Amino acid sequence: MIEVFNATVVYGGNSQRLEAVRNVSFNVAAAEVFGLVGESGCGKSTLLRAIAGALPLARGRIALADRDVGLHRTREERRLVQMVFQDPYASLNPTHTIDKILAEPLAIQKIKAIDERVSQALAEVGLGLEHRYRYPHQISGGQRQRVAIARALIMQPGILLLDEPTSALDLSVQAEILNLLKRVGRSRTLTMLMVSHNLAVIAHMCTRIAVMYEGEIVEMLEVERLRRGEANHPYTQRLLTASLDGAAAA
Amino acid sequence: MNRDLLLTVEDLHVTYQGRTAPVSAVRGVSFELARERLGIVGESGSGKSTIGLAILRLLPRSARLTARGLSLHGTDLLNATEEVMRTVRGRRISMVLQDPKYSLNPVMTVGQQIAESYRLHSHASATQAKSKTLEMLEAVRIRDPERVYRLYPHEVSGGMGQRVMIAMMLIPEPELLIADEPTSALDVTVQGQLLVLIDELIQRRRMGLILISHNLKLVSSYCDRVVVLYAGRVMETLKASELTSAKHPYTRGLLACRPLIDHQQPELPQLVRDPAWLNGAQQDRQGRAT
Amino acid sequence: MTAESVPRPAPWRDWLLADAPRSRAQARLGRWYGNWLLLKRNSLAVSGLVVVSTLVLIALLAPWLSDQSPYDQLLTARLLPPSSDHWFGTDELGRDIFTRIIYGSRITLLIIFLVSIIVLPVGVIIGTAAGYFGGLLDTFLMRVTDIFLAFPRLVMALAFAAALGPGIENAVIAISITAWPPYARLARAETMTVRRSDFILATRMQGASALRIIWSHIVPLCLPSVIIRLTFDMAGIILIAAGLGFLGLGAQPPAPEWGLMVSSGRDYLLDQWWVATMPGLAIFVVSFGFNLLGDGLRDIFDPKSQ
């Protein structure tokens, strides 16, 4: 469903060229949940944004559902990939009501029965109808993240990109959001690509992970092997030890 | 109490002015601190950061603070004048915040900032302050203190910035360090090292530590006692070693809802909040006070 | 401002402040009401608002506030000092200054209104387009803006007014031409801060066109700061309009434009001080009112102060 081949993303001009992502390749099968893990600045979010169509590739190619995609995409290609962001405060327009946030994508894609679809979307993410005409500042961080998930799902995408969807949330809320994502992923047979610095969260959600370090994928492994502590690369091992320490449990 | 008490907080209340009605952030929190490490744990909105600011009397002007008692080793912090508070802040109680990016002055080198904070509280000369600063940078395990001394805040990494902050906060040799989410902005592989460092420095100087965090597990591994907060109230206070046998359903729920690497859970247990906690805890606290 | 009295529970108030509005309209009204409550708490804003709404009321009720005409001359009653018959005295042609100031408020309001509806759209469109698209378009638009910014405002307005010919419409055009560049700058800066926001990317991922993103996401977020800026600038605009009138390039006699009135009163400044002072005070009060309102609005809506 997702094919990334030799992808390189470059920031800056000639004088201050920074290869944020370097020659990264991986495939994600349909309905698979794949995780990209790494620490700040390793390029994982940059890669996700390139897949989302927000950043150009300097080299390599990205194919979604067997079609090469670039920066400029058709409306249909846009609809296929949706994203849930890290910061639930920045990902919703503060001047729009929840209703408007959910209705806008339908209007853009010229989908009928907006009213009904908005109610359905709210119900699917476990938000009561009383939230419909609220503004983002009137609801909690967890509820905002639910709205962001509803906004992504209302487009009926095949692929969901998750950019640290719970790292700004409380632990108890994180559990609720992760359960929700797992549930909708299964019920809609979504292909999901999740980025996180949190190994425990990635291990909980994914079946296979890629570990990124300084712009490159240093290791790819099954989550089962991770659980057994069978990581090969020294960086993966360091990450694993730090995460098991408890210090990183958030 | 026969322990050497450093800080007592008794029935602390903090109320903010809301848009339409006052909002209670802290509702009747009491705890005592000897020269030990106390963890304050809670989720967002539990009032944990407000407590730290209230101890230093650094709340915004719109906040109202009341308490039956708030004292630092015999100094009444509740009725202290602003002048007294200025000698308390930094000199006797220091605070390390979450993100060093916002706590350091961007137009001064980190060395100058540390030296300045030292000279503010002692009457050392510039050269004395510099050598003390280099010593302190070494104490927070910065490999090349001479070089780091001359760096500007934007030139240091998050972990290094937080080390610099700790050096700056500990150089006046305060009696108490309040660390509010000191590692939450840092990478996992750096978090552990930094907490070990704080721990060592605290122990060596026989200081008190209040570690404020949302992370129950982290707090319990670096503290002696843990206060669990929910909605501005103390749910329970327990020894860090007895965390796994916590009685309160909130504490237990917080522990259970974390995803684990070493075994698979099809669904994460979700925390169910009970409105009765707010009343029950109140009684519990009063019971302890008598 | 005195402290707010304890509000009695009123059903409409509960409806407006409802935590969970049941319709789009209720949500929107509730938001406005919330802003109104904030505004009410800010004494600066309230005093500014009082001045500005008084100005509007005076303009609307002019014929009822004075039974005299702003144009009727009475040469036997020239240059009379303020009295119970002529509150602000009379001018060199025997016209009642109070009446002329009242009718002059209409001209002031007209100028404010016309300048706003020209400057706001021009500034916002140029600024958001430059900020959102970036690249060559941005460079081009910003260089044009720079060129306009490089000239002193009053001198430029003078040149335009002189070229277009004297008259109130031309004065408005001249002021607008000199006033839009800072708005384009401001709108561009605001656009730059929001265009990389996650919600903009989310909207792009829905397949939204650039026009839609600018119109429904960026413009609403730029407007508060642009409007605040305009409120601040109003004082300057009124002064420039008065200045053009004073120099004979704005409104033409016998129009009761305040700047023009100050100008004609200049000759009598030493002996009949009220002729120039009264319209001068009017200009001062209105400018000050707009400044207060701008200050208050900034306190309320500036995201950085929240």
pLDDT tens, residue by residue, C7-42: 555 778 778 877 778 888 888 888 888 888 888 888
Task: Write out pLDDT tens, residues B68-120.
Answer: 999 998 889 988 899 999 888 888 999 988 877 778 888 999 999 999 888 88
> What is the model's pTM?
0.85
Which tokens belong to C36?
């109104």
Task: Write out pLDDT tens, residues A66-107.
Answer: 889 888 888 888 999 999 999 988 899 988 999 999 999 999
The pLDDT of residue C246 is 82
The pLDDT of residue C67 is 82
Which tokens belong to B265?
């859970």
Give the mean pLDDT of A109-113: 86
Is A234 part of the contact surface with chain B (CB cutoff 8 Å)? no
Is C121 part of the contact surface with chain B (CB cutoff 8 Å)? no
pLDDT classification of B281: cutoffs 50, 70, 90: very low
CA atoms of A36 and A159, how far apart (whole Å) = 15
* Averaged pLDDT score across all residues of chain A: 90
* Averaged pLDDT score across all residues of chain C: 86
The pLDDT of residue B184 is 82
pLDDT classification of C302: cutoffs 50, 70, 90: low
> Which of B34-48, B162-176, C70-84 is predicted with the least confidence, judged by mean pLDDT?
C70-84
> Which of A151-165, B240-254, C199-213 is predicted with the least confidence, judged by mean pLDDT?
B240-254
Min distance A241 CA to chain B CA atoms (Å): 8
Q: Do the chains contact at B259 and A203, CB–CB below 8 Å?
A: yes
The pLDDT of residue B229 is 92
CA atoms of C262 and B6, how far apart (whole Å) = 72
| C38 interaction partners in chain B (CB closer than 8 Å) | 19
Name which residue leads in pLDDT, C184 or C253: C184
* Averaged pLDDT score across all residues of chain B: 85
Give the mean pLDDT of B16-45: 87
pLDDT classification of B286: cutoffs 50, 70, 90: very low
Write the single-letter amino acid at B44. Answer: S
Name which residue leads in pLDDT, C237 or A148: A148
Residue C39's closest chain B neighbor by CA? Answer: B19
Is B11 part of the contact surface with chain A (CB cutoff 8 Å)? no
Q: Do the chains contact at A90 and C198, CB–CB below 8 Å?
A: yes
Name which residue leads in pLDDT, C302 or A173: A173
Residue A201's closest chain B neighbor by CA? Answer: B259
Min distance B142 CA to chain C CA atoms (Å): 36
The pLDDT of residue A120 is 93
Give the mean pLDDT of B191-204: 87
Predicted-complex ipTM score: 0.89
